[in-house]
Amino acid sequence: MNPVFAEEDLASFCFEQKVSLSEAKNSLEFLLLPREKVFMRSGDNCLDVVTSPDRSKLLEKFLSKRYTLVSETSEATALNSAKTEEHCQLEMKTTRVKKVDSINVRVGRTNDVQASNRDLRETSTAQILLGMGKPGSLDLEGKALFVECRQGASGIYQLIFSFTELNRTKVTSEVSLRKNEPLSIAQIVTDLNSKSKTLGLPETIIQEAEGKDSTTFELQIK
């Protein structure tokens, strides 16, 4: 199975300290497409925009006509360059369980009616290749969940899951993971749902209700 490359890219635009970051964010928002998100990084007076590489050039041109864009520190730039040279390969296994009820009728001297139920299980696997430190998205029953992978020390990785609410408030959940260690997305969804009332991820991915169909997701770093 060929890797699926995430289309999202993270573009950063930094401004002089005298520039109001909120004002710059507001001026940019009317240009954004529905799937694009912008976040403020107040400590560096920068805007981080989840967009595509082609769109980032357009946004940069727009901002440069209104503000003087400045570079981040050389240390931060070097770190970002190192991240773009590495990748984080994720494997997501989707398991769908369908409850099937059946009735068998035997006609003869005596009529015999038997009811039974069984599970039909279907499993599929998808490979997702992310740039290290670059956000991508997972499709959970039609809902997009953003994920960012960062490499830590001693073979431990940090996966940062996020969702942006309708009011553009960002809700995040972070977990540390080693390669080939399975992670149930259910625990991430539970955490995000507890922090947000507008997330609305399908309840079936949290727990399997008796007598109903269910879908579960499991993630691993490869």
Max CA-CA distance within the chain? 93
pLDDT grade for 114, boundaries at 50, 70 and 90: low
Alpha carbon distance 181, 104 (integer Å): 43
pLDDT grade for 24, boundaries at 50, 70 and 90: very high
CA distances from 148 to 9, 143, 209 (A): 11, 17, 30
Place of tokens 């403020």: 40
Which DSSP symbol is given to 72? P
Instruction: Determine whether 60 is exposed, middle or buried from the number of CB atoms within 10 Å of its CB (0-12, 13-18, 19+).
Output: middle
pLDDT grade for 167, boundaries at 50, 70 and 90: low
Beta strands in the chain (DSSP E): 4-5, 9-15, 37-41, 46-51, 69-70, 87-106, 112-131, 135-140, 143-151, 156-164, 170-178, 183-184, 214-221
Parallel, antiparallel or unpaired: strands 69-70 and 183-184: unpaired
Q: What is the mean pLDDT of residues 108-114?
A: 54
Domains, in order of start, for the chain: 8-84 (3.30.1370.120), 87-221 (no CATH)
Mean pLDDT over the full length of the chain: 75
What is residue 109's predicted lDDT score, i.e. its pLDDT? 53
Convert the pLDDT of each residue in 123-134 to its tens digit: 888 888 888 888
| Residue 206 C-alpha from the chain's centroid | 16
Alpha carbon distance 157, 200 (integer Å): 27
User: What pTM was estimated for this model as a whole?
Assistant: 0.49
Instruction: Determine whether 184 is exposed, middle or buried from the number of CB atoms within 10 Å of its CB (0-12, 13-18, 19+).
Output: middle
CA distances from 174 to 29, 45, 98, 177 (A): 27, 24, 31, 10
Convert the pLDDT of each residue in 55-80 to its tens digit: 888 999 999 999 999 886 533 444 44
Alpha carbon distance 55, 134 (integer Å): 16
